[in-house]
Amino acid sequence: MPTDPVTPGVTEPDSGHRPAAGDHNQKENHVRKLIANYARLRTTAGDAGMSTVEYAVGTLAAATLAGVLIRIVGGDHVTAALTALFDRALK
């Protein structure tokens, strides 16, 4: 009964030999383990990418706030108030 060296448990087509029942059970158990691992990975890794998205949104919000603050602080009223505050503090 010659077997295929590449695929264990599979025999050559002309041999007329069917795989043993134990081979089928091993394959079935292997498939069940694969399905269980896939299901476990889907539940544990479901939010794996969320931290990256949260960092990106936080960075965008910080950059936007920095831009708004630069525009506010760069205005004439704020510059005059800050200059007056520092002049009084340094006298």
In terms of DSSP H, where are the helices of the chain? 21-44, 50-73, 76-90
Share of the chain above pLDDT 70, in %: 65
Is the pLDDT reported for residue 1 higher than 50? no
What's the pTM value of the predicted model, to 2 decimals?
A: 0.37
Contact 21, 35 (CB under 8 A): no
- Mean pLDDT, residues 7-21: 53
pLDDT score at 49: 63
Is the pLDDT reported for residue 73 higher than 90? no
